[in-house]
Structure 1
Amino acid sequence: MQGTTNDPILEVRNLRAYIGTPRGVVRAVDDVSLTIGEGQSLGVVGESGSGKSVTAKAIMGMLPRNSGCSGRILFRGRDLLALPARELRKIWGARIAMVLQDPGRSLNPVVRVERQLTEGMRRHLGVGRTEARTRALALLDEVGVPDAERRLRNYPHELSGGMRQRVMIATALACEPSLLIADEPTTALDMTVQRQILDLLRRIQRDRGMALMLISHDLAVVAGRTDRTAVMYAGRLAEVGTTRTVFAAPRHRYTHALLEAVPTIDHPRHTPLRLIPGTLPDPVDPPPGCRFGPRCTAAAAECRAPGPVMTSLGDDHRVACCVPVPSPAAQGPGGESVGR
């Protein structure tokens, strides 16, 4: 396995993405900045509608026609938003690949698996039909697809959901990308297959020394499988830090509320789970200031002011919260707060 480095492979700077709707313009992503290092894994979590998938699609140039995008997306120092289409075609699929959340819709239903696996290799790597087929068989073996020879002749509808997702992963890996974006890669899969797919992605990422962006609405998906975690809410970043820090000592009120809402094995019987009150704000007309403010039990007057901006807490930990959760060091022996 290749080691990770501090050199960034992807830098997203002040990304904004807007989507036109009959009701008005949706600010789907609003001033988001992220960094992924070489060989590093980043988990991006948040509720549905928080802007996770739109961020990924902006990186891959997959936003709908009725959308706009600004900011900078630097891949190895080159701004993808400034490159011509001819140059982008050399990057997307070859150097940055994506696993979409629904393989049933992403794979072409009338094209055999072999062609879908080999098409990218023949185009980007310039290999012949025989070599591409040999590589395709090796890829299916790598992602755990049994009887690879027969599977190459199958159509997607002849495979189970878990098998289709493995084929999707193999297709994304075909040109040996240095960055893989996995957008909700276990949607609609049962828990056993879900774990297999997630462990597979982690193993491949480590073995290949590849950078990974793992997007999910489920905190358990990124826990233990990513180096760093970014929490998004209503199109903005709420908190970014090492996965260990974000889970062990969350500072943003939204992150803390998400973790509090997760049931645990030691949860007392017959007691209700903690819920986050309210719903996501209107994306066309979001509230002023902190977008989590209307749902936050600790909201103060300053939460309605413009912002809040991301503030560094040290050790690669940043948070955008006016009234952050007290750090463990600022709590008394019984867990009570002794100051912000």
Structure 2
Amino acid sequence: MTTQPLLQVRNLRAYIGTPRGTVRAVDGVSLDLDEGRALGVVGESGSGKSVMAKAVMGLMPPRSARSGEVIFRGRDLLALGKKEQREVWGKQIAMVFQDPGRSLNPVVRVERQLTEGMRKHLGIGSSEARGRALDLLKEVGVPDPERRLRNYPHEMSGGMRQRVMIAIALACEPDLLIADEPTTALDVTIQRQILDLLRRVQRERGMSMMLISHDLAVVAGRTDRVSVMYAGRLAEVGSTREVFEAPRHRYTHALLGATPTIDHTRHAPLQLIDGSLPDPTAPPGGCRFAPRCAHRLDECDTAGPDLESVGADHLVACLNPVALAAPALSGGR
């Protein structure tokens, strides 16, 4: 028996009006996220990752429009009214934003910011909510949680504020956690701690997670599946292991080639991806990566390829995908 994915995004479009024209930030994205699994969404800055997450959450800016379907537990979130949406956000779907310094209220103590969602959605009293807040701070690795509850956000480091943001997101025990570039502006050591914390909590609680990043290394060991975005569209989708070990889209292959690895030859230059993202108000008519692709075909300039299967649960939107390496011959003396 086939179980329905927890989250199904179908042909999602998110357009934003600007003085220069309409930005087609997300232009026909479809993806699934199963119960208890982690999905990585990667791509260059400006590829539409964060806007896609905000479109799912209903957090679009003014002068914007979204269409398609966002089906969560069988309900289309785009069709819900404001009151029904408020029953979903925080309680069933929560989000960790890029910058905790701007996401936390600077004039409200941590305790109130942690407990108000629990009191509203879980219907518990202030004493029980405070006890749960202390437990949450301990769970996310905040030392001396009693004192931290009395702090204002500015009295804490960036890494500590991000841990508080994660605790707030977990407060109502959501089924889905969306982490949008959760390590922005943190130093490398703290980045790893935060990312490992998210993966540990996701596994221990059995919840689903969407981890959004421009850094392929962030999602490599912390997700089960990965979706590669480019200029508002999906370029490649598959298991994280398969996409990283055998990338088929020319963009994914180029991204991996431009990423430093521990076995990179000393002083050897990294591969570069020539050019830049296309103008989102006037994207190319064909493959959006074609102007930067060294392997494009003539038809790539006019045909915008759809995702097609290139293996078991591996989809690629490319007319000239990377060929698989020939298997090594066994045998011999």
Which TM-score tier does this pair reach, normalised by the shorter chain?
A: over 0.9
Alignment partner, residue 113 of structure 1 = 110
8 Å CA contact 1:6, 1:38 repeated in 2: no
Q: Residue 81 of structure 1 aligns with which residue? A: 78
Among residues 129, 153, 173, which one is paired with 2:170 in the alignment? Answer: 173
**In the alignment, what sits opposite 1:97?**
94
Work out the CA distance in 2 between the residues paired with 1:206 and 1:174. Answer: 16
In the comparison of the two structures, how many residue pairs are matched?
Answer: 328
The one of 300, 303, 317 equivalent to 2:300 is: 303
Q: 2:41 pairs with 16, 39, 44, which one?
A: 44
* Equivalent residue in structure 1 for 2:204, among 203, 207, 218: 207
Kindly indicate whether the alpha-carbon contact (under 8 Å) linking 1:45 and 1:215 is maintained by their aligned counterparts in 2. yes
Q: Which amino acid aligns with 2:282?
A: D
User: Matches of residues 240-259 of structure 1 in structure 2 within 5 Å?
Assistant: 240-259=237-256
Distance 2:290 2:154 in 1: 45
Instruction: Provide the TM-score with structure 1 as the length reference.
Output: 0.95
2:224 alignment counterpart:
227
Q: Any residues of structure 2 matched to 1:46-65 within 5 Å, and which? A: 46-65=43-62
Asked if structure 1 preserves the Cα contact closer than 8 Å seen for 2:288 and 2:304, the reply is no
Report whether the alignment pairs 1:144 with 2:111. Answer: no
One-letter code of the match for 2:302? A
- 2:118–2:124 contact (8 Å) kept in structure 1: yes
For the Cα contact (< 8 Å) 2:250–2:322, is it kept in 1? yes
Q: CA deviation at 1:263?
A: 1.5
Shifted more, 22-31 versus 308-317: the winner is 308-317
Q: CA deviation at 1:199?
A: 0.3
Give the TM-score normalised by the residue count of structure 2.
0.97
Unaligned runs of 5+ in 2: none
1:19 & 1:306 partners in 2: Cα distance? 25
Match for 2:281 among 278, 281, 284? 284
What do the CA deviations read for 1:57-108 (whole angstroms, capped 9, x no partner)?
Answer: 0011100011000000000110000011111100011100000010000000
1:157 equivalent among 154, 163, 172: 154
Letter matched to residue 78 of structure 2 = L
- Tell me if the contact between 1:15 and 1:72 (Cα under 8 Å) persists in the aligned partners: yes
- 2:181 aligned partner: 184
Retained in 1: the 8 A contact 2:50–2:212? Answer: yes
Match of 1:70 among 34, 59, 67: 67
1:283-307, CA deviations, whole angstroms, 9 ceiling, x for partnerless residues?
1111110000000000111111232
Q: SS where residue 269 of structure 2 aligns? A: coil
1:315 is matched with which residue: 312, 315, 322?
312
Secondary structure, counterpart of 1:328 in structure 2: coil
Letter in 2 for 1:60: M
SS in 2 for 1:213: strand
- Residue type matched to 1:127 in 2? I
SS of residue in 2 equivalent to 1:87: helix
Asked if 1 retains the 8 angstrom alpha-carbon contact of 2:237 and 2:314, the reply is yes
Task: Tell me whether 196-205 or 263-272 shows the greater mean CA deviation.
Answer: 263-272
| Cα separation, 2, equivalents of 1:306 and 1:24 | 23
SS, match of residue 94 in structure 2 = strand
CA distance in 2, matches of 1:332, 1:319: 24
Verify: 1:15 aligned to 2:17, yes or no: no
Contact residue 290 and residue 303 of structure 1 kept, 8 A: yes
Identity rate, percent: 74
Q: Measure how far apart 1:273 and its partner are.
A: 1.3
What one-letter code is carried by the residue in structure 1 that aligns with 2:313? D
Task: List runs of 5+ in structure 1 lacking aligned partners.
Answer: 334-340
Q: Contact 1:26 / 1:284 at 8 angstroms: preserved in 2?
A: yes
Structure 2 letter corresponding to 1:249: A
Task: Please give the secondary structure, in 2, of the residue aligned with 1:58.
Answer: helix
Runs of 4+ that moved beyond 3 A: none
Query: 2: CA distance between counterparts of 1:49 and 1:217?
Result: 9
